[in-house]
Structure 1
Amino acid sequence: MRDIVYFDLETQKSFSAVGGAKNKAKMGVSVAVTYSTKSEQYCVYGEDQMDALVDQLVRADLVVGWNHIQFDYPVLQGYTIYDLAAQTVNLDMMQYLEAEDKLGFRLKLDSAAKVSLGMGKTADGLDALKWWNAYKKTGDESYMMKIAEYCCFDVKVTKCVHEYGIEHGAVRYEDKGGNPAEVAVDWK
């Protein structure tokens, strides 16, 4: 059976805290989550488990994410010697849409999820940063659980948008005016 691994991570620091987007490897990982079609399980990884995460990504038949090549992989580079973009087989759905120049703007996962699936994201990366800072300040594990739950839901949304695109040959989204629109995709 082919193993498709859906993937997302949350960081410990913002771009401004590390001197800008060129320093993604300094952002640190608070939580990373994968879903494997082979095991049919979600895996939640803490910062001390990045070797296991990288191993799962490198072994996957396909890694699917949303902006993971330009964001998540560079963040992970702080933890591995692998060139993850070169040593994994990937479908970065956002990058796919940008490379095809189908939209003319950067589509957000939340927009595709709302219109394609009828459900949006539960929070955003800034919330995850606030929860991380609250965890570091208080040691309260419930903040880490919030990050893990949010990241798991993002992985689920990523998986569902991918499956929607496979089934329908298109992804629906909100255009710049907030109107429903559709873009063809070939993800089979």
Structure 2
Amino acid sequence: MQRLVLACLFSLLSHFAHSEVDAELRQHLKQAINTSTSFNDRFDAEVWMVDMSSRLKRYIKDKSFRIEFLKHLHHSASKHNLPPEMVLALIQIESAFKPYAISSVGAQGYMQIMPFWRNEIGRPHDNLMYYKTNINYGCAILAHYLKKEKGNWTRALARYNGSLGKTWYPEKVMNAWQKRWFVKNLSKARHQ
């Protein structure tokens, strides 16, 4: 039964890839998947990249940048043992995917990184508006807080936002994750 479900899913993905994804995007996806080091399984990579690219399209219009953004985000999140979809939800809440967002307290970029972090890690000249730098910082910071809070997402997210003791921010991120970014782990489903 599971093989039938997976065959149907793959068939739908193939249909979607051929009918909805244009040739340029398909080429970018193929290149991103072939050069990605954060996916353990090619099937998972293809499904995730196509799925997340379609979800992210409303925020990031440029196809090739969207794929590069997702590839880097997946790599950075995976390196820090974070669910990439949770990082996408956090970015949605923090900056609505606006690369040059600056908060009223000076947090910068996609993941709204406070500039003091550059000095904290001894890299005062890092450009926090550069998406790779911003995502690397954000994932490292979130992973640090998650470890500090022993896996408690509510407390880790509140620390990330500077609102420890309150739940409004973690609830917003978790809600965005569940409504827009959540995806079942296909690798586990395929091997059960």
Considering fraction of residues, name the structure with more helix.
2
Considering fraction of residues, name the structure with more strand.
1
Quickly name the TM-score band, shorter chain normalised.
under 0.3
Higher Rg of the two aligned structures: 2
